[in-house]
Amino acid sequence: MALEKHVPPSTSGSDHDDQQSQPETVTINSAEPPYSVFSKRKRIFIIIMATICASVSPLSGNIYFPALNVLSAELHVSASLINLSLTTYMIFQGLAPAFMGDLADTAGRRPAFVIGFIIYIGACTGLALQTSFPALLILRCLQSSGSSSTVALASGIAADVSTAAERGTNMGWVNAGALLGPAIGPILGGILAQFLGWRSIFWFLVILAGVILIPLLLVFPETSRNVVGNGSLPPQRWNRDLLTVIRERGKTSQLQDRERPQSLRPLRFPNPLSTLKILKDKDVGLLLLFNSLVYCSYYSVITSLPFLFAQIYNFNVLQIGLSFIPYGIGALLAAVLNGHMLDWQFARVAKSLGVKIVKDQTIDLRHFPLERVRFPLALVLILIGNTALLCYGWVLHVQAPLAVPLVLLFFIGYCMTGSFSCCSVALIDYYPASPATVTAGNNLCRCILGAGITGVIIQMINSMGRGWCFTFIALVIYASSSILWILMRWGPAWREERARKIEAENIMRAEKNDEGK
């Protein structure tokens, strides 16, 4: 039995005034089975593992930054050419999750994780042994292909075990893992490159991936709702953790041959184009554009930092790595604190509508004002962070004391990351049934644009100057922030339009199935 609360019609989407003249209904499915049957302790373990896994791809990209100047000298290539290894990494960081995200939403999270980590370990081993620039480029692409899906998979796992009311906090922890790379990667890279040589960076990544892979194989459960539902259905035998397989050996499980509900997706070959389909939705496409531009501004700062700080402050590899600390601290704080703020805002809006949030029960988000929950905080943060970015360029232009750009890096890290996190949670709210796929789409868009800025940022600084280069980037972000206003105004109507279209498609599909029988 569902409890219903009537709320006043939304003022958004004037093109649906005829429908909105009727009161909207927010439905709480309080009598349905729990959203997830995993115990609280098990869910904490799942989120911790997802957070650790989410750190691998950004760590692999950022641990490399302090060694760029050393590699440029050793491989006898220019700074612009060595930055191509960042560009190619980011291109594959965007492309690979399009394949792996769909695999994870159909076959499960565990197979996608295991395949990715095996590829990643092989690539890191090759990178530690290579001696040429072409080999570096090729192996970095392979390394990115193996690790880049970890963020999308971790986001999918957070959505698997979290209702919309809890999603902000759990996604915050996953984002904290993804931002652990920018926070500690350059520091670790600087220390390793300074004292053990640049090859030790890749040997460290081999060891780290091996340590993570062991619990994934031994004890990590499958969580994909398309495979195990709310966790009450057993996954396919080949998709169970090894300890479960050992415990069940020689036993006849009544669950083993249970007929799987038709609502669960059948296993099929992954379709990377499913990631691109989400781009046709107006609200999702605009939100992905905004998120990608914010990511570009973030990458313009961290990819140019080694070049600029070596040029202005004459820093060595270790000092460059330590310079990332303020940015990393800000990013980590944003990921954790913003998650709690989003959940608080969700609860506040729900209370204002008279909707009671029941633990482990879902809320029908179709008429819930998601845009009022997710976007106001993102808008405030992006305006503050973008102002810090503009100031950062001119501070470097006048070669101000080191403390000034470091303080600005903290605000850039906190605000840009916080805004990006808010929008990433909103994307999963839009597509709760395919969280890994929509996160893969987010990765695809942001990494393609991020790869572009990585490839040209040094030339932009050299031709425009430090101050005007970052002023130009800040102006683009100021203009793009209008997207959030557009989504708050017309987003609810666009969501309703998509929901009706999906309903119509489901009806047609059901009729075809009936005819087939």
Going by C-alpha positions, the residue among 157, 76, 150 that lies closest to residue 120 is 150
Helices 109-129 and 199-218, packing angle to 10 deg: 160
- Above 50 in pLDDT, residue 329? yes
Strand partners, 4: 27
Show the tokens assigned to 304: 């140019």
Condensed to tens digits (0 to 9), the pLDDT of residues 128-139 reads 999 889 999 999
Confidence tier at 456 by pLDDT (50, 70, 90)? confident
Q: What is the mean pLDDT of residues 405-418?
A: 93
Q: Tell whether the torsion through CA atoms of 291, 421, 223 and 264 is positive or negative.
A: negative
Confidence tier at 464 by pLDDT (50, 70, 90)? very high
Quote the percentage of the chain above a pLDDT of 90: 29
pLDDT recorded at residue 399: 94
pLDDT recorded at residue 347: 85
- Above 70 in pLDDT, residue 262? no
- Above 80 in pLDDT, residue 161? yes
CATH superfamily of domain region 3-243+278-516? MFS general substrate transporter like domains (1.20.1250.20)
Q: What is the mean pLDDT of residues 243-251?
A: 77
Residue 256 contacts residue 244 (beta carbons within 8 Å): no
- Above 70 in pLDDT, residue 286? yes
Among 185-199, 219-233, 255-269, 384-398, the minimum mean pLDDT is found in 255-269
Q: pLDDT higher for 330 or 100?
A: 330
Q: Name, in order, each residue with C-beta under 8 angstroms of 205's C-beta and a sequence gap of 6 or more.
A: 59, 60, 63, 120, 124
- Above 60 in pLDDT, residue 263? no
- Above 50 in pLDDT, residue 468? yes
pLDDT recorded at residue 128: 92
- Above 60 in pLDDT, residue 80? yes
Q: Name, in order, each residue with C-beta under 8 angstroms of 135's C-beta and a sequence gap of 6 or more.
A: 126
Mean pLDDT, all residues of the chain: 82
pLDDT recorded at residue 517: 57
Domain spans, the chain: 3-243+278-516
Strand partners, 26: 5
Q: pLDDT higher for 19 or 210?
A: 210
Confidence tier at 19 by pLDDT (50, 70, 90)? very low
Q: pLDDT higher for 469 or 446?
A: 469
- Above 70 in pLDDT, residue 269? no
Strand partners, 7: 24
Q: What is the mean pLDDT of residues 17-26?
A: 41
- Residue 131 C-beta-side C-alpha neighbours within 13 Å: 0
Report CA 99 to chain centroid distance, whole Å.
Answer: 15
pLDDT recorded at residue 473: 95
In 234-263, which positions are buried (b, 16+ CB within 10 angstroms) versus exposed (e)? bbeeebbbeebeeeeeeeeeeeeeeeeeee
Burial class (CB in 10 A: 0-12, 13-18, 19+), 265: middle
- Residue 321 C-beta-side C-alpha neighbours within 13 Å: 26
pLDDT recorded at residue 513: 66
Confidence tier at 23 by pLDDT (50, 70, 90)? very low
Q: Name, in order, each residue with C-beta under 8 angstroms of 511's C-beta and a sequence gap of 6 or more.
A: none
CA distance 440 to 274: 10
pLDDT recorded at residue 68: 82
CA distance 279 to 431: 12
pLDDT recorded at residue 9: 41
- Above 80 in pLDDT, residue 183? no
Q: What is the mean pLDDT of residues 134-152?
A: 89
Q: pLDDT higher for 278 or 333?
A: 333
CA distance 398 to 11: 48
Q: Which of 230-234, 243-247, 395-399 has the highest mean pLDDT?
A: 395-399
Q: Letter for the amino acid at 301?
A: V
CA-to-CA separations, 233 to 36, 158, 243, in angstroms, rounded: 11, 18, 17
Q: What is the mean pLDDT of residues 227-242?
A: 85
Neighbours of 23 (CB within 10 A): 11
pLDDT recorded at residue 12: 40
- Above 50 in pLDDT, residue 47? yes
Q: What is the mean pLDDT of residues 157-175?
A: 81
Task: Name the pTM for this structure.
Answer: 0.73
pLDDT recorded at residue 384: 96
Confidence tier at 302 by pLDDT (50, 70, 90)? confident
pLDDT recorded at residue 173: 82
Q: What is the mean pLDDT of residues 59-83?
A: 83
Q: pLDDT higher for 247 or 480?
A: 480
CA-to-CA separations, 453 to 2, 178, 456, 457, in angstroms, rounded: 49, 20, 5, 6
- Above 80 in pLDDT, residue 434? no
Show the tokens assigned to 101: 């995200």
- Above 90 in pLDDT, residue 79? no
